[in-house]
């Protein structure tokens, strides 16, 4: 079994790494919107109270105050729930952060459907779509706690705005703490995907919580003699087109898997690339065009087909369409 079963929440890794970086990077400031303990930025607030700003239940204020700090050389991390930050302050993100290309880090938790019982008002399956359409914006979707820590460290030396979506619930950890997987040490680089498993018959391009599922799917497919490549596309923008086109060329069949709407997310981004440069069958695993509902995270992942089982089925379809 290649997939380790330890559980850890990405938001915990975010909160811890932010404190660690805060010691050496005095330019880091952190802003919250009354959800600081949920997003884990309260740990930074306890460690560095002078560099933490509570903006109230006011996401537009959160983003625009962060923008003002960024114009003065600070590196603000603005963190609240993904649905509120991206949708309630979208024009502020566009006008005051992305358009002037400021170094604001929009790190949001409680994304996707795995936020769970709170229901549709608190779940977001559109955030990647609306963030990736913004010029200058980088979009990150890490898969587990060690990758989240690696991503937060990579953010510090990046120029320009970044959106990163994290989940609420603990997820399976498959990377080791040093960002190695299966004995292979990787380096987290924004815009560069990670090939977690080699394969010639089909390539599964995935991110977030779906990466662990894709690795399981690849095991199941191997038992049937289908050799599946697994590519962790932790950066949706800028997209690693080279890896996608290489996979399209070498396997001739692609599957995308994400905890996001089938419209406009990773699947859409991959389809845009192959349609233009190397058309091959693309099967997509994601959330349909609906408002999602209440339930426990695991229940919802099954309800919307965000499972290893569905990824394997999609891979078989893609191979048959080749």
- The answer to whether 49 contacts other proteins (rule: CB under 8 A) is no
CB atoms within 10 A of CB 192: 15
Binding footprint of other proteins, residue count (CB under 8 A): 29
Smallest distance, Å, CB 31 to other proteins?
A: 9
Q: Which stretch binds other proteins (CB under 8 A): 53-61, 172-180, 193-201, 246-254?
A: 53-61
Choose which of 60, 195, 227, 293 interacts with other proteins (CB under 8 A): 60
- Among left, alpha and beta (phi > 0; psi -120 to 50; other), residue 291 is beta
When the beta carbons of 135 and 225 are compared against other proteins, the nearer one is 135
3-class state of residue 52 by DSSP: strand
Question: What does the longest C-alpha to C-alpha distance in the chain come to?
Answer: 59
The answer to whether the CB of 29 falls within 8 A of the CB of 75 is yes
**CB of 93 vs other proteins, minimal distance in Å:** 11
State the Cα–Cα distance between residues 71 and 33, nearest whole angstrom: 20
- At residue 162's C-alpha, the angle toward residues 3 and 287, to 5°, is 55
How many angstroms separate the CA atoms of 200 and 111, rounded?
Answer: 33
Per CB under 8 A, contacts with other proteins among 64-103 are: 64-74, 76, 91-92, 94-96, 99-101
The yes-or-no answer on residue 293 being catalytic is no
Quick one: 93 or 247, whose CB is closer to other proteins? 93
* Catalytic pick among 20, 27, 54, 59: 59
Query: Residue 165 CB, nearest distance to other proteins (Å)?
Result: 23
Pairing between strand 138-140 and 228-232? unpaired
Catalytic residues: 59
- The footprint of other proteins (CB under 8 A) covers 29, 50-51, 53, 55-56, 58, 60-61, 64-74, 76, 91-92, 94-96, 99-101
């Amino acid at each position: 079994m290649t997939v380790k079963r330890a559980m850890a929440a990405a938001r915990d890794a975010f909160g811890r790494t932010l404190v660690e970086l805060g010691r050496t990077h005095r330019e880091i400031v952190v802003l919250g919107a009354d959800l600081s303990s949920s997003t884990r930025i309260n740990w930074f607030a306890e460690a560095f109270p002078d560099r933490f700003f509570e903006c109230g239940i006011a996401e537009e204020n959160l983003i625009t105050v962060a923008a003002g700090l960024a114009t003065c050389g600070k590196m603000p991390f603005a963190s609240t729930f993904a649905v509120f930050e991206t949708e309630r302050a979208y024009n502020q993100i566009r006008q005051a952060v992305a358009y002037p290309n400021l170094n604001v880090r929009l790190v949001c938790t409680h994304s996707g459907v795995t936020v769970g019982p709170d229901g549709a008002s608190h779940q977001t399956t559109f955030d990647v779509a609306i963030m990736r359409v913004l010029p200058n914006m980088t979009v990150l979707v890490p898969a587990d706690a060690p990758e989240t820590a690696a991503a937060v460290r990579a953010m510090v030396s990046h120029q320009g705005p970044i959106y990163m979506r994290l989940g609420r619930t603990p997820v399976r950890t498959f990377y080791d703490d040093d960002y190695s997987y299966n004995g292979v040490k990787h380096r987290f680089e924004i815009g560069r995907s990670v090939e977690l498993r080699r394969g010639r018959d089909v390539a599964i391009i995935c991110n977030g919580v779906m990466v662990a599922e894709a690795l399981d799917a690849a095991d199941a497919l191997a038992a049937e003699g289908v050799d599946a490549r697994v590519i962790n596309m932790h950066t949706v923008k800028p997209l690693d087109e080279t890896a996608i086109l290489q996979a399209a060329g070498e396997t001739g069949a692609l599957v995308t898997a994400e905890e996001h709407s089938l419209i406009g997310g990773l699947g859409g981004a991959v389809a845009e690339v192959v349609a233009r440069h190397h058309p091959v069958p693309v099967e997509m695993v994601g959330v349909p065009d609906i408002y999602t509902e209440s339930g426990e995270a695991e229940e919802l992942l099954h309800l919307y087909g965000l499972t290893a089982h569905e990824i394997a089925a999609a891979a078989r379809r893609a191979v048959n369409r080749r």
